[in-house]
Chain A
Amino acid sequence: EAGVAQSPRYKIIEKRQSVAFWCNPISGHATLYWYQQILGQGPKLLIQFQNNGVVDDSQLPKDRFSAERLKGVDSTLKIQPAKLEDSAVYLCASSSRTSGNEQFFGPGTRLTVL
């Protein structure tokens, strides 16, 4: 089966600019996750979708971050405006109950904010 796809793989922007990331989960996976992974730390959950509804977004900085999952398939994560501390790898993952809630990860997008 095709894995989780993410784009772009790398992005360099200046602070105060905006950026968007895209994720295409594994077909049929109802749950989609966005994580932020800062160097030296574990993945931190930003937002979790179940189909096109939000299950948890308690750690999403809503003043600058937004995410949507229209039609319950693809998802986009946006940062506007970006800050220096947003430099990180942004990971997308998907899972399904039939896979025992195992999360399948994409390759990530490495964001550098200058």
Chain B
Amino acid sequence: AQRVTQPEKLLSVFKGAPVELKCNYSYSGSPELFWYVQYSRQRLQLLLRHISRESIKGFTADLNKGETSFHLKKPFAQEEDSAMYYCALNTNAGKSTFGDGTTLTVKP
């Protein structure tokens, strides 16, 4: 069965510092990976997906199949990045699995 692990429950950085949220997965097939974000009092929403290879709000994520990782990175964190971040995996059959999330706090 597939699994998504986010090893850090809480992550705190200062504004302007680099930030990396870790995501590791286990799945025998070719996964489709996503990062979702939930800002305070808002709905869970997509931040980015690996197949688009785009940068959203300064965040990027690279799929590393060798290390089975999909870490989320931003070179200069902003206070408005404070939120809950979830890594998610879709299997070939479309089944969805989420990690337990990382709460990011960006301090002024």
A residues in contact (CB < 8 Å) with B: 3, 31, 33, 35, 40-45, 48, 50, 55-56, 91, 93, 100-108
Kindly identify which residue among A48, A100, A104 contacts B96, using a CB–CB cutoff of 8 Å: A48
The answer to whether the Cβ of B30 comes within 8 Å of any Cβ in the partner chain is: no
| B46 & A103 in contact (Cβ 8 Å cutoff) | yes
Instruction: Tell me the bound Cα distance from A48 to B92 in angstroms.
Output: 14
A-B pair count, CB < 8 Å, reads 55
5 tightest Cβ-Cβ pairs between the two chains A and B: A42-B98, A105-B44, A42-B100, A102-B46, A43-B98
The answer to whether the Cβ of B97 comes within 8 Å of any Cβ in the partner chain is: yes
How big is the B interface, by class? 20 to 34
Residues of A within 8 A of B44 (CB): 43, 91, 93, 105
Instruction: Tell me the bound Cα distance from A106 to B38 in angstroms.
Output: 12
Residues of A within 8 A of B49 (CB): 100, 102
Residues of A within 8 A of B97 (CB): 45
| A44 & B98 in contact (Cβ 8 Å cutoff) | yes
Instruction: Tell me the bound Cα distance from A107 to B99 in angstroms.
Output: 19
Residues of A within 8 A of B93 (CB): 55-56
Instruction: Tell me the bound Cα distance from A42 to B99 in angstroms.
Output: 6
Instruction: Tell me the bound Cα distance from A103 to B88 in angstroms.
Output: 10
| A101 & B32 in contact (Cβ 8 Å cutoff) | yes
Kindly identify which residue among B52, B88, B95 contacts A100, using a CB–CB cutoff of 8 Å: B52
| A3 & B96 in contact (Cβ 8 Å cutoff) | no
Instruction: Tell me the bound Cα distance from A15 to B101 in angstroms.
Output: 29
Can you identify 24 A-B contacts, CB atoms within 8 angstroms? A31-B94, A40-B9, A41-B101, A42-B6, A42-B86, A42-B98, A42-B99, A43-B98, A44-B98, A45-B95, A45-B96, A45-B97, A45-B98, A55-B95, A56-B93, A91-B44, A100-B51, A100-B52, A101-B90, A101-B94, A103-B46, A103-B88, A105-B43, A108-B43
